[in-house]
């Protein structure tokens, strides 16, 4: 399977980077094809410009956007890895969505009816956050995040959300908790099975 990993965290010593390594090593061990886009490492420009907006309606995306869209078109499954900051996506990830998930590529309107254009692709979203699940549940933040990201971005674009992980109290997690999370992540990706070749 062709896997695209879209990752956003500036610290190579972070839990998010450790999760990235876990996903990458697991997919490699299962012989999946992988492309990783580390948005900080590639210095992705997150600012949606007037030129970007005008290009959406001509179908002529800027070179950096077209490159990312080509990766998405190539992928069968997309994994997003990023922390929850201020109850939302880091600015660089939000800017990636703003610029790359553009009209005519990720969605369009047919006679006023919205249509997701990334159908046939699946996605896994992996988030860390500092608050506890209990706190998020009490104020409805868990449902709000699922509504704004799962439905407002990914499902809206036609993606099939396989799983959205929310790893809570991430800054206080024990080694045992982190290893449990990593096992949950490994178990979400199917093994590649090969059909044996028979010689006549």
What is the tens place of the pLDDT at every residue in 140-169? 998 999 999 999 999 999 999 999 999 999
- Over the range 68-78, which residues count as b (16 or more CB within 10 Å of their CB) and which as e? bbebbeebebb
Running along the chain, 200 residues long, what does each successive block of 10 average in pLDDT?
Answer: 97 97 96 97 97 89 97 98 96 98 95 94 96 92 92 97 95 94 92 45
To the nearest whole number, what is the mean pLDDT of the chain?
A: 93
């Amino acid at each position: 399977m062709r896997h695209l990993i879209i990752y956003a965290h500036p610290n190579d010593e972070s839990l998010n980077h450790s999760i990235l390594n876990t996903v990458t090593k697991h997919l490699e061990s299962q012989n999946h094809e992988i492309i990783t886009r580390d948005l900080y490492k590639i210095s992705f420009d997150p600012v949606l410009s007037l030129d970007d907006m005008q290009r959406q309606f001509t179908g002529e995306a800027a070179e950096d956007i077209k490159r990312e869209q080509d990766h998405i078109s190539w992928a069968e499954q997309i994994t997003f890895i990023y922390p929850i900051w201020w109850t939302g996506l880091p600015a660089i990830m939000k800017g990636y969505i703003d610029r790359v998930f553009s009209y005519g590529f990720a969605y369009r309107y047919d006679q006023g009816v919205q249509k997701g254009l990334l159908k046939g692709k699946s996605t896994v979203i992996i988030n860390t956050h500092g608050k506890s699940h209990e706190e998020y549940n009490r104020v409805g933040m868990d449902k709000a995040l699922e509504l704004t990201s799962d439905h407002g971005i990914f499902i809206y674009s036609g993606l099939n959300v396989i799983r959205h992980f929310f790893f809570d109290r991430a800054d206080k997690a024990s080694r045992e908790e982190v290893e449990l999370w990593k096992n949950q992540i490994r178990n979400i990706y199917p093994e590649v099975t090969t059909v044996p070749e028979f010689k006549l």
